[in-house]
Structure 1
């Protein structure tokens, strides 16, 4: 029963942009399976309200992000059509609590993936690669999160802004793709694809192999994780990620700085 009540609490927090106290402190019985059940209930509420699942995210795939948030394992979340935007998007600061931004690589699937798919099957399912900006935002007060907190909170997802897809065969070795994040014209973070589990595609392999793995469908986008620690965002900020061979993507946080 408490899984449903936590999901409703997080849904209200996301709707009202008002954070809640850490779940892991208030519900010591919460397990990782419970946290993913909360996430599933949260997403079910969104889809019941008309949202459509269009992809997924794998988070905490770099040592920089794990160290920043004090966790030691990747996690995953769900992307709906209300969370995914194209290059040049203006995002509403009023709907965010304490946003941060990450420059990431993402893939678009060209075919469905069955649970437990092999590494070769996972790689063969990738149609194209995209440079992306992910805005993360914790509905847990002051980012005082454990792995259980962020999993329940849909992996702290808020929005994904996608660049133009490049066929996987033309993208080169994703381990060596250099990525730069600018905020208001100033370089604030850099990294390379190898920061993501040694090879960005391994994030997709990890997701496909999880017991809680959602259905992975052709046409869906999967964010593979940041190559650097997340950078704080404020209203009025303009952020751009560039990646060698993949172009760039820009987003603006609407509202007065």
Structure 2
């Protein structure tokens, strides 16, 4: 992408946030753009958010399952940034109006105790760097109308990030096998989906290793205290005003997201 095209893509995504209206797929406007271009668009947005006072507090890994990679026609995950404004409190009403097209996914969140910087990060390095894990729910959202996204669209749109709800029961890695940790996702008391940690690149730890080795050459270090979401354990579920979503993970406990009722008009 030429510099002017990059700025045009950033402006389109910015308008979706500001006007609270989804846009047409970016890939239609920029058909020759590459994934590298998409990350440049993402990084330009993050720089603008930080300049406006937000703070990067972690990263997320997307497209972590083989099924999603096949759907997008790629052979590796993608990543996005998590900023402080995206973190929401468990059990506190979340207005769906702050999102455009929200869906929710259960994930095992890593909280780092030591820095990780690739390339060359191994599984042993990643395990040593993790302070503890938490059950979490990620709200994914797309600024592209009807979720009709290509790999370029989702990467440029900060990996379709929306919000994060962390549980409050920390668990040491030595106390749980993340590959075998099963998960149930209930929406309004009804079982909506099931999954396990092994659905995330064979183990969520592999996603953490991939992330560190991917962002390292870009000059990015995964910092102590940062949260890393490695990918969803189940299919994403659409959420609506008034919904209550509970993810329960074997050995890790549960996390609850409560969405505010729709306001009277």
> What TM-score comes out, normalization by structure 1 length?
0.94
**Structure (1 or 2) with the greater strand fraction:** 1
In the TM superposition, 1:155-170 aligns within 5 A as: 155-164=159-168, 165-170=170-175
Question: C-alpha distance in 2, partners of 1:175/1:11?
Answer: 38
> What TM-score comes out, normalization by structure 2 length?
0.91
Shift of 1:118: 2.1
Match of 1:158, SS?
Answer: strand
- Tell me which of 14, 24, 49 is aligned to 1:11: 14
Question: C-alpha distance in 2, partners of 1:90/1:239?
Answer: 12
Q: 1:89, 1:161 within 8 Å by CA — same for their partners in 2?
A: no
Partner of 1:83: 86
Cα 1:142/1:71, change in 2 over 3 Å = farther
Shift of 1:71: 5.1
Q: 1:22, 1:149 within 8 Å by CA — same for their partners in 2?
A: yes
CA RMSD of aligned residues (A): 1.7
Partner of 1:38: 41
Q: 1:57, 1:223 within 8 Å by CA — same for their partners in 2?
A: yes
Q: 1:71, 1:146 within 8 Å by CA — same for their partners in 2?
A: no
Partner of 1:243: 249
- Tell me which of 67, 87, 96 is aligned to 2:99: 96
- Cα deviation code 1:49-75 (max 9, x no counterpart): 111111110011123444566654311
Shift of 1:176: 0.5
- Cα deviation code 1:126-160 (max 9, x no counterpart): 11111110010110111111111000000000001
> Which consecutive unaligned segments of at least 5 residues does structure 1 have?
none
Question: C-alpha distance in 1, partners of 2:212/2:178?
Answer: 19
Shift of 1:89: 3.2
> Which consecutive unaligned segments of at least 5 residues does structure 2 have?
none
Shift of 1:169: 2.1
Cα 1:215/1:12, change in 2 over 3 Å = farther
- Cα deviation code 1:17-36 (max 9, x no counterpart): 21111011110121111100
Q: 1:65, 1:230 within 8 Å by CA — same for their partners in 2?
A: no
Cα 1:3/1:205, change in 2 over 3 Å = same
**1:228 equivalent in alignment to 2:229:** no
Question: C-alpha distance in 1, partners of 2:15/2:220?
Answer: 24
Question: C-alpha distance in 1, partners of 2:199/2:42?
Answer: 26
Q: 1:15, 1:95 within 8 Å by CA — same for their partners in 2?
A: no
Partner of 2:128: 124
Shift of 1:196: 0.4
Shift of 1:229: 1.4
